[in-house]
Chain A
Amino acid sequence: MTITKDKAGAFAFLVLALAYGLNIGDIPMLPGDEDEPFNAKTMPIFLAWFMGGVSFLMLVTRSTNENGSDPVVAAFTGLQWGKTAQLLGLMIFYGFTITFLGFIPATILFILGGLWILEERRLKVLLLTSIPLTVIFWYILSQLLGIYLTHGELFFMLGGTQ
């Protein structure tokens, strides 16, 4: 049996509705709130039932969208997953480095990394895209707009001061 894109999506939403619904029990209530016509749980309860109902309806009905009838596996194959995953990883790495290395080194590394992942190998392009852009952007933010950009933990670890 081939699972279509629409059915896979509907199934994912059904699971989400179930998970969302199960977590409603964790919402605390103020004393007497349960007797109110509308409390913190009302909207989530409605949404869980509504989403569950619509996704179930989509699971059991025939798709009227031509694209939606394509197999879900085909939609996820033949794509550049490697490069995309590397870019996602690079963004997480940027999150780590921006506080540790500081704005300028972290951003230069991020742009260099992005260019490298996308197979840019010309040294001139790598350097001229990453360094001037980062420095200009840093100058606009910190010197012209007065936005404080951290030097990074490393700077202070090496004895730097504000």
Chain B
Amino acid sequence: MMEGILQGLYTATTPINLLMVFVGCFAGTFIGMLPGLGPISAIALMIPITYGFDPSTGMILMAGVYYGAIFGGSTSAILINAPGVAGTVATAFDGYPLAKQGHAGKALALAAYSSFAGGTIAAIFLLIAAPALASVSLSFQSADYFALMVMGLTAVSAFAGKGNFLKAILMTGLGLMLSTVGTDQSAGIQRFTFGQLDLIDGISFLLLAMATFALSEALMGVLRPDAVNAEAEKATKGDLGSMKLTRAEVMHVAPVVARSSVLGFFIGVLPGAGATIASFLAYGMERNFASAKEKLKFGKGSLRGLAAPETANNAACSGSFVPLLTLGIPGSGTTAVMLGALISYGVQPGPRLFVEQPAVFWSVIISMYVGNVILLILNLPLIPYIARLLALPKQILTPLILFFSLIGVYLVSFNTYDIYMMVIVAAIVLAIRLIDFPLAPMLLGFILGGMLEDNLRRALAISDGEFSFLWERPITTVILLITVVLLISPLWTVFKDRRATKFADGEG
């Protein structure tokens, strides 16, 4: 393990990789700050750029972008109450009131310190947890992988939020359907290609990710314009105030940061949960822990209320790398995009990655720590200047995002068919967004579809076509039982709510 860490440290600290962390953090902060563009779009926009890179360098850049985007989302949440990322919605609860009280600088500094602490503590956890889990998962067989993938897809739906369970299931199914387009991997038979040569290799992952997130986000901003820009201009032209935190304030938030780091990391490890749930849970937990007097401050500019979600969302980002690096199963939309990128580099994530490509495995983990340090060094002095980017007019930004999305996909295939496909996908995604169906499950379904089918095929072949493989191995059975619990829990909540409503109606 020590050898691996040293190898990772060596790879992560080469000048080119340090430069990539720096560029990633900066680009991620900028993109994440723009309302509507989250880490998925930021990473998707980076993929074409990283195609010629060494896998470690590419992943390091994307990890930097991920962290930067989360931090950038916090900046817009604090300054203009417009979280660029869902994971920073809870940051706005107390960050924006603090900014309105004239403490924008302090709020931004606290966000930077909390993100740093959360990311760093979680990176240490990752350093311990990832190799341990990777060693265990070396014994996994096709049946276990199949069960894990079913669990991952179910978890994404189960955590989709109240009333969104069936919608998320449908979107996951849509992703799985899209993954069946093209040539069947084992039999070499064409499926759903409709005689189109361009569909023989299936739908490109990059095309789908770009059209679903980057293109549709930009078009959504045109379709449903908001009043953010005027407020952004006002906020970024004003004085941000002092960025210093007093010793008492640091002592006041230190336990919050410690608790939220642990919570955030473990929530991040769970497939489907991610930064959003971690930040809300951390906020809720701190509110419950607070004294009656402190509780009143929540939502009105509480430092603890700001530190908790900020720490947790960054810790969750690190946690979400555990299933990706050790099992090859992404737990969130963002890590699904990263998985797609890794596969396109010719690297298959999973337990073998730890053994066969230790440089990639360890350098990504080490780069997270380096990324957190760079994010802190970069963001604290640059915050007032970076914040000005928030006021960049949308009419200039939108055509540029559209251009970078289109050219990013075109440069991979040099096929104009991909441009037309992107337009069609983006138009369909716009309609899907308008009826409020979640998009991340679709991407996860698309990424896992091929692997799911492949593992099911192998598991069935090993068990002579019998479905007994589902309960023959304890690991498979346990994973499937967890899946059933995940599947039932939202349905149980709905049932309980309906019974309560019925009971209340009867009483009334």
Residues of A within 8 A of B (CB): 5-6, 8-10, 13, 16, 20, 23, 27-30, 33, 36-40, 43-44, 47, 50-51, 54-55, 57-58, 61, 63-68, 72, 75-76, 79-81, 83-84, 87-88, 91-92, 94-96, 98-99, 107, 110-111, 113-115, 118-120, 125, 129, 133, 137, 141, 145, 147, 150
Contact = CB atoms under 8 A, between A and B. Distances in A.
A91 B465 contact: no
Given A37-B460, A64-B497, A84 B222 contact: yes
B416 A65 contact: no
A117 B419 CA distance: 19
A76 B170 CA distance: 21
Contact of A76 (B173, B403, B434): B434
A127 B398 CA distance: 16
A80 B222 contact: yes
Contact of B419 (A5, A13, A92): A92
Given A39-B187, A114-B402, 15 more contacts: A5-B436, A9-B170, A10-B166, A20-B177, A29-B189, A38-B460, A38-B461, A54-B169, A67-B436, A68-B167, A79-B434, A92-B423, A94-B406, A115-B395, A147-B411
Contacts of A37: 460-461, 464-465
A10 to B, nearest CB: 7
The 9 closest A-B pairs by CB, nearest first: A65-B163, A114-B399, A37-B465, A95-B419, A118-B395, A64-B163, A5-B435, A40-B184, A95-B416
B187 A64 contact: no
Contact of B422 (A28, A66, A91): A91
A120 B395 contact: yes
B494 A64 contact: yes
B499 to A, nearest CB: 13
Given A38-B460, A65-B163, A133-B400, A28 B223 contact: no
B213 to A, nearest CB: 16
A125 B396 CA distance: 9
A82 to B, nearest CB: 10
Contacts of B391: none
Contacts of B184: 40
Interface residues of B, number: 60
A43 B453 contact: yes
B122 interface: no
B163 A68 contact: yes
B90 to A, nearest CB: 19
Contacts of A63: 163
Contacts of B416: 95-96, 98-99
A16 B465 CA distance: 29
B163 A38 contact: no
A161 to B, nearest CB: 20
Nearest to A112: B399
B326 to A, nearest CB: 26
B157 to A, nearest CB: 10
B186 to A, nearest CB: 8
Contacts of A120: 393, 395-396
A87 B420 contact: no
Contact of B177 (A47, A58, A115): A47
Given A54-B170, A55-B170, A87 B410 contact: no
20 contacts: A5-B434, A13-B170, A16-B174, A27-B192, A28-B190, A30-B187, A40-B191, A43-B456, A54-B170, A54-B173, A65-B163, A65-B167, A68-B163, A68-B167, A79-B223, A92-B419, A92-B420, A118-B395, A145-B52, A150-B414
